[in-house]
Structure 1
Amino acid sequence: MVGQWSGKEARALREAKRMSIREFAAHLGVHERLVSKWEAGGDRVHPRPVNQAALDTCLARSDDVERGRFAALTAVGPVSGAGTGGHTAVRGSYSNDAELLALIDSGAVRGDGSAAISERDLIMAAAHEASDHTGRAEATNIGPSTLDQLDADVTRIANDYVHTPPMPMMVEMLRVRRRVYRLLEGQQRPSDTSHLYLLAGSLSGLLANASTDLGYLDAAGEQIRAAWAYGEICGHNGLRAWARGMHALIEYWSERPHRALALAQSGQQYADSATAAVRLHNIEARIWSKIGSAVDTERCIRAATAASEGPVTDSLHDEVGGVFGFAEAKASYYAGATYIHLGLAEPALAATERTIELYRSGPARQRSYGAEALARVDSAAAHLINGSLDGAAEALSPVLELAEDKRIAQLEERLTGVRRRICAPTYRGVAQARSLDEQIEEFCGSTPTRSLPPGAG
C-alpha cells in the first residue's frame, strides 16, 4: 500500500500495468490531462483524496505480476546494517513485537538474515499480532438496524427525487452521506465496510445527478468520480455501470461528446443487468445522434432493444430504482431527444408522446417532472420541424407553467434550441411565433440556474 500517492507512484503503477496514459485515465475515471499533470510533477504533485482512493483501488485490484513490477519501479534500497557476507545482521536490533514486525516488513530479515531472529520471538510476535487484529476486527460501530435504515434512506431519496425539487433533496442526500462517512471512520466488519462504500457511492451518484439538474457540471463531475471510486472499492458492478453512464451524460452536457462516448462504452463491461445495459446503449445512442452519426445511433438503438430482453436484474438499477432506474418512460424520453438531434420529427413525436402518456397514466410517485418537461420541449421541437406552431405551443404550455424550483438547468438549454427554431425564416414575422418566443424568454429569465452551454442537450 502507498502512504500518499504522488505523480511518481502514479506513473509507476501505469507502467506496471502496461497502460498508455489514455487507457490508465479511463481505468481510473479521470481525464488523461490529469494523469499527464501528475506524471510531469513527479513526487512534487499529490492527487486529490478521491483520486488517491482510486489509485489505492487500482493497485489493490492489480494481479501479482503487476504488483511485482510496481514494487520494482518504486523500490527503495534494503535496510542497512552491520554484518558479513552481504547479509543484514538484525540480532539485538529489536526490543518488542512492533519493532520485529517492522523489520520483517522492511525486508531486512530475508534469507540468512532470518537466523538472527529468535525463533520464540518470531512465533510469539505472530501470535500476538493475530490476537490483536482479531480483537479489532470483532469490534463494530454498526448496530443490526443501521445498514437497513441507511438502505431505506437511499431508496427513499432515489425515488422521491424524481418528483421533488432538487434543493431540498440535496440537503437530505448530504445529511445521509455524512452519516455514512462518520461510520466509515470507525470500525466494522469488512462486509459492512463494503456495504457502507456502496451507500456512499450511491449517494454521491445522487448528488451528481442533482448538481447536474442545478447546472453545476464541474461539481457533478467531482461527485460522479467519487461514486465511481466507491464502486471500485466495494466491487459493485451496478454502481460502476450507473456511474459510467452518469459521467458520460455530464461530459455530453459539457460539450465533450467523444469523451462521453468512451465512458458510456466502457460502462458496458459492468452492465450485469438488462436495465444497466439498456440505459448505457440509450445514452450512447443519444451521444452519437448529437455527433450526427445516424448509422451508429441506429446500431445502439438495436443493441438496447436486444439487451432489454435479458432477464437479469441488479440491486441498484432494479431494486433501488428511482433515479437509478430506467423504465419504459425514461427510455422513450431518451429516444425522443435522440431523434430530435437527427432532425427526425415523426419518430421524435411518437417517442415524446409515449413518454408523456406513460408519465401521465403511471403512478404519481414515479412521475419524473424533469423528464416529462424535457420530453414536452422535444415534442415542441418536433412540431416546429413539421411546421406546426399550434402543436409546439400546446406541448410547451405545461412546461412554461412549472414552479421555479422545478425549472432544472437542462430546460433552459433545450428551450434555447426551440427558440432557434422559432427564429428560422419559416416563422419570421408570424405573430404566434413572436408570442411563443416571448413566453420562452420570460421563462428562461426567471430560471434560477443557467449554467449549461447552448446546445448541450
Structure 2
Amino acid sequence: MLKQLCNQQDMDVPRMVEEFAKTADLVIGKGPNNPTCSERTAKRWRAGGVDPARLPPDTRRVLECMFGRRAAELFGPPERDDPAAPAFDLEHVIDMTARDAQNDASATAAASVSDTSLDQLADDVHALAREYASIAPIQAFHRGRELQQQLHDQRDRTQIPAQQQRLLELLGQTTALLATSAFNLGAFNSARRLARSADLYGEAARLEPLRAYCDGILAYIAYFTGMPGEAVAKARRAQTYGGLGDVARRRLLAIEARAHGYLGDVEPALRALRLSEEVESGARDSLHDDVGGEFGFTSERLAMSSSSTALLIHDAPQAEQAARRALALIEQRPAEARSAHVLGSAAADLAMARLLVNDVDAACEALEPVWDIPADQRVTGVLVRAGQIQHYLTRPTFRGAPVSRELRDRVEDFTRTATTHQLTGPTLLQLEA
C-alpha cells in the first residue's frame, strides 16, 4: 500500500525522503535523534517485504502521520479502487514500472561526479608520483593523505561503474605512494599495512601492475626486517602478474637480486642482476610507464641498485663501477629533477666499496654529495647506508686513525640531525632499491 499511496501522490523517492525528514521534525521533535530515511531505505520500503513490527516505534509514527494509515496497512497489500475490478491491472503495473525506472535512473544520474573533477584528481595523483623523488617524504605523505580523502569523498558521491573503477585505480596509486613514503620515513609496520591496502585496491580494480608494485614494497620491508626468504618470495610472486612492462620487470628483478644478496646466494643474485639489465622486450604498462615517476625505475636507480647488490655479495670492484655509473647518470639530469635518495645512496655505496679495500680518503671524497642532502630528505635508504659506514669504521683496521674518526663522527652527526624518524638499525647491510 505504501508504494500505491506514493504513486497516487506523485511522491518519488527523493521527495519521500524529504517529506519523512519534515514529518519527523513535527511529530518526533528530537532534533538530530529523529528517525531518518535514506533513498535506499525508501526504495526498500516501497518494494514491500518489510515487517512493520521490526521498525522502531518513532519510524512507524512518522510513516503513519505521512500517509494517514497504520504501519501494518502501509506494508500490506495495496487497495483496489473498484472491488469489481480484476486483481491484475496490467496498465497500472506498467505505469508503476515506468515510474520506478524513472526514479531509479534519476537517482543514479544524480549520484555521479564531474569527469573534469576526476581528470584533475588523476593529474594530482600522477604529479605526486612524478615529483616524489624531488620532495621530502613527509611532504609527499601529507599530499597523499589529502588526495586520499578527496578520492574517498568522490567515491561516496558516485554510483557510475566507470567512475568507481577509475577512483579505485587512483586510490590504489595514492595508497601505494603513501606506503612508499612511510617506508622512506622508517615506519615499516605502517608501510606494510598501506602496501597491503593498495594491493587490495589493485585487486578490486583488476590492476595487476599495481599489485606487482605493492609486492615490491613488501619485499623491501621483508628484508629490512630480517626476512630475506620472504623478500625473495614476494619479488618472485610479483613477477607472475600479467600485463607488466619492462620497467616493472627490471625493478622486480633488481629487488630479487638484492634479496638473494642478503641471503648470501651469490649465483642467484648475479643471475637476477644480469636479467634486470637485459630486460628489453619493449613492453609497457599503465602504471610503471604511463604514470612513471616513483612508479618507474630509472637507469640511475637500476645502477644504484646494482651497486647495493654487489656490496651484499662483497664484490667491491663491481659495486664501485655500478655506483659511479649511477652518479654519472644522475648528473645528466637537471638539478631540480635529481633524486636525493638515488644520489645519496649511490654516493654512500661508492664510499662503502672503497672502505671494503681500506681506502678511507677515497671514501671521504665519495661522500661529499651526501652532506648536502637536506635533513628532511634523508630517507631510509640513505640513513641505513650511512649507518652501515659508521658501523664499518668501528673495525680495528680503522681505529685510532684521525681521518676514520672524523668521518665516523661526521656520519653520526648526519644521521642524528635528520628530521625523519628512522626505525632501522645501524648495522644492516640490506639496502633498498
Q: TM-score range by the shorter chain?
A: 0.7 to 0.9
Identify the range of structure 1 (267-276 vs 385-394) with the bigger mean alpha-carbon deviation. Answer: 267-276
C-alpha distance in structure 2 between counterparts of 1:196 and 1:141, whole Å: 12
Q: State which of 156, 160, 164 in structure 1 corresponds to 2:131.
A: 160
Match of 1:262 in 2: 233
Q: Which stretch shows the higher mean deviation, 345-354 or 414-423?
A: 414-423
Q: 2:256 aligns with which of 284, 294, 314?
A: 284
* Partner in structure 2 of residue 294 of structure 1: 266
Question: For structure 1, which runs of at least 5 residues remain unmatched after alignment?
Answer: 1-93, 101-117
Could you tell me how far 1:197 is from its partner in structure 2? 0.8
Percent pairwise identity: 28
Structure 2: 5+ residue stretches without partners: 1-43, 51-87
Q: Is 1:213 aligned to 2:176, yes or no?
A: no
What is residue 352 of structure 2 aligned with on the other side?
Answer: 381
2:375 aligned partner, one-letter code: E
Q: How many residues align?
A: 347
Match of 1:453 among 414, 425, 428: 425
Q: Match of 1:378, as an amino acid?
A: D
Letter in 2 for 1:212: F
Deviation at 1:98, TM superposition (A): 4.0
Per-residue deviation, residues 384-436 of structure 1 (Å, max 9, x unmatched): 11221111101112212322112223322222211232222322322211111
Following the alignment from structure 1 to structure 2, what is the Cα–Cα distance between the partners of residues 395 and 368? 17
Higher mean displacement: 364-373 or 340-349: 364-373
- Counterpart CA distance in 2 for 1:427 and 1:125 is 89
Q: Structure 1 residues 370 and 97 mapped into 2: Cα distance closer, same or farther (>3 Å)?
A: same
User: For residues 95 and 159 of structure 1, what CA distance do their matches in structure 2 show?
Assistant: 50
In 2, are the aligned partners of 1:381 and 1:418 still within 8 Å (CA)?
yes
Q: CA deviation at 1:370?
A: 0.9
Partner residue of 2:297 out of 310, 318, 326 = 326
- Shift in Å at residue 366 of structure 1? 3.4
Provide the residue aligned with 2:377 in structure 1: 406
Question: For residue 286 of structure 1, what is the amino acid of its counterpart?
Answer: R
Q: Which residue of 2 aligns with 1:97?
A: 47
Contact 1:159/1:366 (<8 A) preserved: no
Cα distance per residue 1:195-220 (max 9 Å; x no partner): 10111111111111111111111111
Q: Evaluate the alpha carbon distance shift between residue 440 and residue 186 of structure 1 in structure 2; reply closer, same or farther with a 3 A threshold.
A: same
| Aligned-residue offset at 1:183 | 0.6
Q: CA-to-partner distance for each residue in 1:14-73, whole Å, 9 max, x for gaps?
A: xxxxxxxxxxxxxxxxxxxxxxxxxxxxxxxxxxxxxxxxxxxxxxxxxxxxxxxxxxxx
Q: Is the 8 A contact 1:410 1:452 kept in 2?
A: no
- What residue identity is the alignment partner of 2:193? E
The partner residue of 1:394 within 365, 378, 398 is 365
Say whether residues 1:428 and 2:399 are aligned partners.
yes
Distance 1:375 1:192 in 2: 42
Instruction: Read off the aligned partner of 1:272 and give its amino acid letter.
Output: L
Q: Residues 44-123 of structure 1: matches in 2 within 5 Å?
A: 97-99=47-49
In 2, Cα distance between equivalents of 1:274 and 1:381: 30
Which whole-Å CA distance do the structure 2 matches of 1:305 and 1:330 have between them?
A: 12
- Residue 343 of structure 1: SS of its match in structure 2? coil
Decide whether aligned partners of structure 1 residues 351 and 125 sit closer, same or farther in structure 2, where only a CA change above 3 A counts: farther
The one-letter code matched in structure 1 to 2:160 is: R
Q: 1:188 to 1:95 in 2, by over 3 A?
A: closer
| Aligned CA distance change for structure 1 residues 389 and 183 (closer, same or farther; 3 Å) | same
Correspondence for 2:408 among 417, 427, 437: 437
Deviations 1:196-245 (A, max 9, x none): 01111111111111111111111111111111011011111221111111
Shift of the 312–365 alpha-carbon distance from structure 1 to 2, 3 Å rule, reads: farther
Matches within 5 A, 1:192-231: 192-231=163-202
Contact 2:343–2:369, Cα closer than 8 Å, also in 1: no
More displaced stretch, 435-444 vs 118-127: 118-127
- Relative to structure 1, the CA distance from residue 127 to residue 286 in structure 2 (aligned partners, 3 Å threshold; closer, same or farther) is farther
Counterpart residue type for residue 424 of structure 1: R
Please state how far the C-alpha of 1:128 moved relative to its aligned partner.
Answer: 7.6
Q: Does 1:315 align with 2:286?
A: yes
Superposition RMSD on alpha carbons, in Å?
A: 2.6
Alignment of 1:353 onto 2:324: yes
CA distance in structure 2 between the partners assigned to 1:444 and 1:95 by the alignment: 64
Partner of 1:113: none
Residue 154 of structure 2 corresponds to residue 183 of structure 1? yes
TM-score (norm 1): 0.71
Please give the alpha-carbon distance, in whole angstroms, between the structure 2 residues aligned to 1:349 and 1:341: 13
Secondary structure at the residue paired with 1:185? helix
Name the SS of the counterpart of 1:297 in structure 2. Answer: helix
Letter in 1 for 2:258: R
Counterpart among 343, 349, 370 of residue 372 in structure 1: 343
Give the superposition deviation at 1:281: 0.8
2: CA distance between counterparts of 1:99 and 1:423?
77
Residue 367 of structure 2 is aligned to residue 417 of structure 1: no
Spell out, residue by residue over 1:349-375, the C-alpha distance to the aligned partner (whole angstroms, 9 max, x if none).
111111111111123353111111011
TM-score of the pair, normalised by structure 2: 0.74
Asked whether the equivalents of residues 141 and 181 of structure 2 are also in contact (C-alpha less than 8 Å), the reply is yes
**How far apart are 1:136 and its partner, in Å?**
4.1
Q: Is the 8 A contact 2:387 2:425 kept in 1?
A: no
Name the stretch that deviates more: 160-169 or 128-137: 128-137
Matched-pair contact (CA < 8 Å) for 1:215–1:410: no
Give 1:41's aligned residue. Answer: none
Hey, what's the Cα distance between the residues in 2 that align with 1:133 and 1:282?
Answer: 52
Separation in structure 1 between the aligned mates of residue 315 and residue 234 of structure 2, nearest angstrom? 26
Distance in 1, matches of 2:124 and 2:46, equals 47
Instruction: Give 1 or 2 for the bigger CA radius of gyration.
Output: 2
- Further displaced range: 130-139 or 333-342: 130-139
Q: Secondary structure at the match of 2:114?
A: coil
Separation in 2, partners of 1:305, 1:334: 11
